[in-house]
Amino acid sequence: MKREDHELLSRTGPGTAMGNLLRRYWMPALLSRELEMDGAPLRVRLLGEDLIAFRDSENRVGLLEEHCAHRGASLYFGKNGESGLRCWYHGWKYDIDGNCLDQPNEPPAARFCDRVKQPAYPCVEKNGVIWTYMGPADLKPAFPELEWTLVPEGHYYASKRLQDCHWQQGMEGDLDSSHLNFLHGQETINASPSHGRFPSGKWMADDPNPKIEIEHTAGGIIQAARRAAGDKDYYWRIGEWLAPVFTMIPGFPGDAPFGGHAWVPMDDDKTWCFAFSWHPVRAFTETEKKNQQSGWGMHSLMRPDSFIAAHNKSNGYAPADFPPVKQPWQRIKIFQDQDTAITESIGARYDRTKETLGSTDALIIQTRRRLMAAARDLEEGREPIISARDYRLRPYSCVLPRDTPSWVKAVEETLDARPETYKISA
Q: Please tell me the predicted confidence (pLDDT) of residue 275.
A: 97
Q: Residue 192 has what pLDDT? A: 66
The pLDDT assigned to 247 comes to 98
Cα-Cα-Cα-Cα dihedral sign, residues 151, 152, 156, 158 = positive
Residues of the chain predicted below pLDDT 70 = 186, 189-196
Contact by Cβ (8 Å): 387, 146: no
pLDDT reported for residue 186: 66
Q: Which of 370, 271, 367 is nearest to 12 (CA)?
A: 271
Nearest to 396 by CA among 417, 365, 358, 425: 425
pLDDT of 193 reads: 63
pLDDT for the residue 191: 66
Cα(157)–Cα(144) distance, integer angstroms: 18
Residue 54: its pLDDT value, please? Answer: 98
Rounded (10°) CA dihedral 187, 345, 304, 149: -80
Per residue in 308-340, pLDDT (tens digit) is 999 999 999 998 787 778 898 888 888 889 999
Q: Domains of the chain (ranges plus CATH)?
A: 27-139 (2.102.10.10), 147-421 (3.90.380.10)
270-305 pLDDT per residue, tens: 999 999 999 999 999 999 999 888 888 889 999 988
The pLDDT of residue 202: 84
> According to the model, what pLDDT value does residue 331 have?
86
Euclidean distance between CA atoms 353 and 368, whole angstroms: 13
Nearest of 262, 282, 300, 336 to residue 156 by alpha carbon: 282
